[in-house]
Chains A and B, each alone.
Chain A
């Protein structure tokens, strides 16, 4: 079967760093996406990894290890506006399989 696991909820403090993990077991792998979704809004694209390693984009970085079926999203210098759900999605044989998302709560 196809499965993506993410923690349901995480809490972090403004200004801190947080790492959101995603593990996947899929029949194929052609890349992994991270999206941000604020409550009641549409998902917005954050990052895409297809090769192993770290992709950095400002305060956000995403890491992939294909051999371990593992990715993480690293958010630095957290701001209150980063409170949102973070969705991991895997391209498995050119179909996107979505995780349930991790709700990130930022406290002052």
Chain B
């Protein structure tokens, strides 16, 4: 069964450093998302991406965050200058149709630790 893959599985970085989280969505999916989950808390929406542009973003997704689809397969999340409160599990997801109608397929996540 096709799956969403994310790399790395763990990332430790120092406060103020830039990080890039990488994702390969399922190949025939058109919608891509980033979510985060702080340990023990709820899943939080960051951004959705369709047709090579951001379609929705949350208040969390401020100027420190950016997304890119540099080629036909990868989908990346960049955090420009990490803060301690960015420590969380970051999940990439993809869907065939819009998130509200089609199930999301999540990757296994990248655990980001900012020290």
B100/A45 in contact, CB under 8 A: no
Enumerate chain A residues within 8 angstroms of B105, measured Cβ to Cβ. 45
For the complex formed, measure the closest distance between the CB of B39 and the CB atoms of chain A, giving whole angstroms.
10
Enumerate chain B residues within 8 angstroms of A89, measured Cβ to Cβ. 43
B103/A33 in contact, CB under 8 A: yes
For the complex formed, measure the closest distance between the CB of B33 and the CB atoms of chain A, giving whole angstroms.
9
B98/A45 in contact, CB under 8 A: no
How many pairs of A and B residues are in contact by the CB < 8 Å rule? 49
Q: With an 8 A cutoff between CB atoms, is A30 at the interface?
A: yes
Write out, one digit per residue, whether chain B residues 91-115 have a CB within 8 A of any chain A CB (1) or not (0): 1000000111101111111000000
Contact for B43 among A41, A48, A87, A95, CB less than 8 A: A87
Q: With an 8 A cutoff between CB atoms, is B56 at the interface?
A: yes
Within 8 A of B (CB), among A59-73: none
A30/B43 in contact, CB under 8 A: no
B44/A96 in contact, CB under 8 A: no
Main secondary structure of the interface of B (DSSP, over half): loop
B106/A91 in contact, CB under 8 A: no
Chain B: interface residue total (CB-CB under 8 A) = 18
Enumerate chain A residues within 8 angstroms of B45, measured Cβ to Cβ. 95-96, 98
B103/A45 in contact, CB under 8 A: yes
Q: Which residue of A lies closest to B45 (CB)?
A: A96
C-alpha gap A71/B103 in the complex (Å)? 17
Enumerate chain A residues within 8 angstroms of B106, measured Cβ to Cβ. 42-44
Q: Which residue of A lies closest to B44 (CB)?
A: A98
B91/A42 in contact, CB under 8 A: yes
8 contacts between A and B (CB under 8 A): A43-B91, A45-B103, A45-B105, A87-B43, A91-B100, A94-B101, A96-B100, A98-B42
Tell me the A residues contacting B by CB distance below 8 Å: 30-31, 33, 35, 41-45, 48, 87, 89, 91, 94-96, 98-101
Tell me the B residues contacting A by CB distance below 8 Å: 41-45, 56, 91, 98-101, 103-109
